[in-house]
Structure formats: structure tokens, C-alpha cells
Structure 1
Amino acid sequence: MKTAALILSILLGFSLTARAQVGGQRGFPFLELPGSAKQAALGGVNVTAGAHDVNMVTANPALLSEEMDGQVSLSYVGYLADIKQSHAVYAFNSEKLGRWAASINYLNYGDFVQRDASGMELGTFNVNDYTLALTHAREMEAFTIGATAKVAVSSIAGNKAVGVLADAGAVFKHPEKDFTVGLAFKNVGYQVKTYDGGERQEMPWDAQLGLTYKPEHMPVRLSLTAHRLYQFDIVYLDPNAPAKLDENGNEVKEEKKLGDKIARHFVVGTEFVFSKNFQLRAGYNHLRRKELRLDNKAGGAGFSLGAMLRVRNFELNYGSAFFHPSGATHYITIATSTRAFLKKKSS
């Protein structure tokens, strides 16, 4: 039977924050889930590897570029049970108003059995989250600045919480080399409406800094992204974890290590660029691996893989992210450019 516990585990477990220190205290954790196959394949956190993928404007609004004009994209991912996520985005350029992108992100957690205090079935109810967003970016020589305004809604059986949020970002692209530096402030906002009887929650904001570099004669593009920049120590030691014993049977107290504190802030992504029509991708998220592993094994938690295949005007992206040792979550993204169809129609 599906229960509210499953919803809680998805929101707190699949959320990229994995913030065990403040678990449940921040609202709208679904905002930190990757919305597309490329972002998922690169480790889930990336503010510089935009290229022509319009989905990356949700990672950093400053990645919106001329290459994305007229591009429309649809993404889909299925999580556990009936939990599904869909994401759609469209970019366009106006001579008077500049460059824009509009997107919608929707998560449906399925239908749940509603019961009264005695356990009697009263029917069913559904749970869903969604976001409506509008992005604007402007180029200034080698720099691009961008901002996204969005409304987030979480609904449980018709009881809704609403938040108004914004992302802001900046990107520097080297004029000669394939080198990009990006900075993004994510999900800064306010919960304008709480659940009935609930307390107002803090938004899942974050500050992220990253770079992407492709050596001139190598078919590899490397990305390194730092996140949770507002707090150095994000290591959580579970007080309820089973005690560890040394060879003499004495309890060993777990301690926080400096290297682990630093590593949890970084996500590594790699793109193997075989051609403009075919790429392979891989990523590693150390925070995800440490927070979402089991006590006795980690499996593939924290790792991710993906690929891109372009055929004529269509591009297919696939991403596979291991949130947990039990298996991977699979992302599918399909994109095309409306400009090609408009040219054919006009001719």
C-alpha cells in the first residue's frame, strides 16, 4: 500500500540537498531535483555546461544563449512506485524584449488511499508539485547575466503551499578557448502560502560556483561545480547509526574529517565529445553518495551516466543517476528547434 512515508522518503532522499541537518525544515525540496537528462548525467549540479541545451537554463539562467533560440524540449523521469516528473522548456528571442525562456516542471506522486481515524476508507487523494518559470538573459561581450522568476506549488489532497522564488546567475565565456565560469544563486524566495495549519518554511536556496573546460585537442569537456557555499560543514553523523567496533571490541566514535567536509561540496561532470551528434557523459556527486548510501554498502550511489544522440533536427538525451544503492533513475529528454520548421514552412 502506498503511504505518506513513501512521499517523505522521496522528498528527503531524492532531493539533491540531502541536508540531513535540516531535513524537513525547508519547503519545496523538489526544486533541487535535476529536470533533464543532461543535468542528471553530469551529477545533478552544474552551472556552466550549457552549450545548446535549453534545459540548462534551470541550472543557471545565465546559460540562456543564442544557440537555444527557438528550441523546445520535453523531459520525463519515473521514480519509485507511481512517482513521475515531467519538464518542458521553450526559448525564444524578441528583437524588442530580448532573449527569454519559459518552463514548467511537474511531479505527480500518484493516488493515495484516504482513511478516517478508525481506518475506514474514504476514497483517494493525489499529491503533486509544480513550478512555472520565466527566464531572461542578456549578453555583454564575454559575460552573460540572467534571472529566473518562478512560482512553486505543492498540493496534498487540495491543500496547497505556494512559494515565489528567483534564480540569478552570471557566466563568463572565454572569447577564444572552450572555457566557462559560472555563478548561480538558486531558489531565493518566500513561502507566500503555507499548508493549512502549517508553519512557514525556509526556501531551499543555494549558492553554486563552477567551471567547464575542454582542452583544445582532446574530445573531453570537464566540469567542476561547488555547491552549498553558504555553509562549510555539511557533514551529518547519524546519532542512531549502529556502533562501530575496533579489533578489541571497543566502540569507535565517528568523527568528521576535513577532506570529507570539502569533498561534499563538489560535483564532477565529464562529457566525451565524439562529434556534434554524439556524446557520452558521466558524473559524480560526493554529497549524494555519502548521504544516500546504506550502512553496509554504497553501491553506485552518487554516480551518473548519460548519452546524447542527434538525428537531423531532433536530439535525444539519456541520463541515469544512482540516487541509492538499489538502482538507478532514468531520464529521457527530447529536444528540437522550431526555427528549422519555420524555415521550411516559409519556403
Structure 2
Amino acid sequence: MGIKKGFLFVLLHLGLALAADAQVGGQRGFTFLELPANAKAAALGGYTVSSYSHDVNMVAANPALLNEQMDRQLSLSYVGYLADINQSNLAYAFNHEKRGRWAVGLNYLNYGDFVQRDATGLEEGTFSVNDYTLSLSHARQSEAFTVGATAKLAVSSMAGNKAVGLLADVGGMFRHPEQDLTVGLVFKNVGYQVKAFDGGERAPMPFDVQLGASFKPEHMPVRLSLTAHHLYQFDIVYLDPDAPGRLDADGNEIKEKATAGDKIARHFAVGTEFIFSNNFQLRAGYNHLRRKELRLENASGGAGFSIGAMLRIRTFELNYSSAFIHPSGAGHYITISTDTGTLFRRSN
């Protein structure tokens, strides 16, 4: 079986086997795996399964994006969310002469310290809550097609009580041989919770199916990306049953209902890269699902929108983005990357 047919066979059977059991947010474990952990992904709307570049962080979005431009790339990211919640991420890619191209990653999310109290409310000290993931990715290319997979160990810890999951991402990519066009498909977070929190039940994983395309017109300094997510389920709208509805002329309460257009739009995220040069770029994105779910009843603010920039100075590349999570604030992402091969040669 050829690499292209084998890839399609695996993806098809994974989708059929898992789609029926997949559920949307609020009912699953390890949902931190759905958060973008680097500046570029956040700036482009949070979903980037087709963004082909030298940025090793893109492997977390789709393992098939792992390519020769990422060899020896080391990247460190820091994310500051609301309050004292923060996230750190490390990624590195390398090519082994006999075993092919690989990438490793470490993602850590810290929710801060909380006051611990006994049953009567007396303070007993503090405890911490955090999540982390270790990942190993591998990809193989055959002409215009690339297939890749990522194995992940995910751990959630709360006051020393841990839940553990084993997961995998399986993805594919097509890169047009003549045009700047890339199409990506990925099945994310296929796995199982091997250990639940003490006293709790095993939770389903945050499974997702994502399909996207990125295209740069030949004579325009702009690259456009469109990504569809949660493709295993059409209706991903959540409406609070306790939320008050509007009143009609007779004083009857009318509950909010989602239109077909809104249901479709929630599946899409768009991103734009303005490429002024190899050393400077601006980015912007929009995530409709985030805007609809995180807005206030009477105000949306900038929720769902994101902006960012890239600046390269010698061997270092600095990426920054701000993703508006809620009308009350945004997440701030900083990513610093370098080619360790070039860096070490210069130091010598």
C-alpha cells in the first residue's frame, strides 16, 4: 500500500471509529490541548493546519507540517493569560540520517496557587494546579504529499492528584509543486485517559478533525489561511438554557436560537499574513467560535480577533501576538526561535 493510500485509509477509519464518541467542550478532559501555545498560531485564529514554513511550532497544529526548513530550529514560547495563568512551550526539530525527521515538544500550563481550606473553611495552606504535555513527532514526504504523526503524554495535576492521558495526532499535507498553495488535514487528540483523578471517572479526549488551506497569490505579499474545525459534528453551538430571552410584543419570552449560518461559521477560523520581507511580517486572525462563546450578553469587545508580528534579527526570530479571549482582556504570546546550527557556528 503506497504512502498516500495508506494515509487516507488510516484517516478514514480513525474518523469513522471516533466521530460517534466525540463531544464538544465542557464534557472532555485535557482541554488545554486545544489552546494555541505559540505566537504564530494564536495570531492566525488559533488553527493553522496548513501553514507551511520554517516555524517548528507548526508541528503542534499538524505533524505533517514538519519539513526540512525546521531542522535544528529551537523555539521557546511564553503565554500570559488573564490573572496569573501562564503557559510555556518548547519545540525542537532535527533530521536523523537513518531514521528521518523528528520533532520534540514540551508544553506547560500553570494556573497559579490556590488557598486550601478544610471542611469548616479554615485555611490549611496553598496548592497548585497545572497541566503539561510531552510530545514526539515524525513525518515522511512522498513528492507533494507528507504524512506525520505525534505521540503525546498529557498530565493534569491538582493538589498532587494527577490524571494521565496517552494521545496522538495523525495528519497529512499536500503542497502544490508550482503554486504557493498548501492543504492540510489532521485528526487531533486521538487517545485514552489511562488514569483519572482519584475518585473521578475517565473523561473522553478533546478529539477534533481539522481541514485547512493556505494560499499566497504570486504577486501579492499576502498569505491567506482558512481552517475548518470540529468537522465530526455539524452543530457545535451551546446556548445557556438558563439565559433570559427577549420579550415579544405580548410579553412572551423568546429564547435565542442559532441560525444555520451561525452553525456553519462557528466551524471556521481565518488568518492573514502580510509578508513585507523575510525579516518582517504582520498577522491577523478571526475565530468565530471563540467570539460567540466568550462574549458577554451585551458586549463582545474584541473577542475572537487576534493580531501579531514577526521580526527577525540575525539568527533570532521574535514573534508576538495578542489574542482577544474575552471583552475583559487578551492572551499575550511571545515566541523566540533560532537555528541552533547557525548559532553554534557563529559562536565558534
TM-score, length basis structure 1: 0.92
Compute the displacement of 1:109 (Å). 1.1
* Residue in structure 2 matching 1:298, options 290, 300, 308: 300
Q: 2:314 maps to what in 1?
A: 312
Compute the displacement of 1:260 (Å). 0.6
For structure 1, the 5+ residue unaligned runs are 1-20
Aligned runs of 1:1-347 on 2, under 5 Å?
A: 23-246=25-248, 249-344=251-346
SS at match of 1:82: coil
Counterpart of 1:90 in structure 2: which amino acid?
Y
Q: 1:5 maps to what in 2?
A: none
Q: Is the 8 A contact 1:133 1:149 kept in 2?
A: yes
Counterpart of 2:165 in structure 1: which amino acid?
G
Q: Is the 8 A contact 1:54 1:91 kept in 2?
A: yes
Q: Is the 8 A contact 2:52 2:182 kept in 1?
A: no
- Give me the whole-angstrom Cα distance separating, in 1, the residues matched to 2:299 and 2:150: 39
- Give me the whole-angstrom Cα distance separating, in 1, the residues matched to 2:25 and 2:141: 38
How big is each residue's C-alpha offset from its partner over 1:168-190, in whole Å with a ceiling of 9 and x where there is no partner?
10000011110000001111000
Compute the displacement of 1:22 (Å). 5.1
Counterpart of 1:184 in structure 2: which amino acid?
V
For structure 2, the 5+ residue unaligned runs are 1-22
Count of matched residue positions in the alignment of Structure 1 and Structure 2: 326
Counterpart of 1:291 in structure 2: which amino acid?
E
Counterpart of 1:331 in structure 2: which amino acid?
Y
SS at match of 2:243: coil
Compute the displacement of 1:290 (Å). 0.6
State the identity %: 74
- Give me the whole-angstrom Cα distance separating, in 2, the residues matched to 1:241 and 1:162: 35
SS at match of 1:38: helix
Change (3 A) 1:155 1:285: same
How big is each residue's C-alpha offset from its partner over 1:216-264, in whole Å with a ceiling of 9 and x where there is no partner?
0111100000000000011122111122124554433322211111101
- Give me the whole-angstrom Cα distance separating, in 2, the residues matched to 1:134 and 1:22: 26
243-252 or 278-287: bigger deviation: 243-252
Q: Is the 8 A contact 2:50 2:214 kept in 1?
A: yes
How big is each residue's C-alpha offset from its partner over 1:90-132, in whole Å with a ceiling of 9 and x where there is no partner?
0000101100000000011111111100111111111110000
Q: Is the 8 A contact 1:171 1:181 kept in 2?
A: yes
Compute the displacement of 1:276 (Å). 0.7
Quote the RMSD (CA, aligned, Å). Answer: 1.2
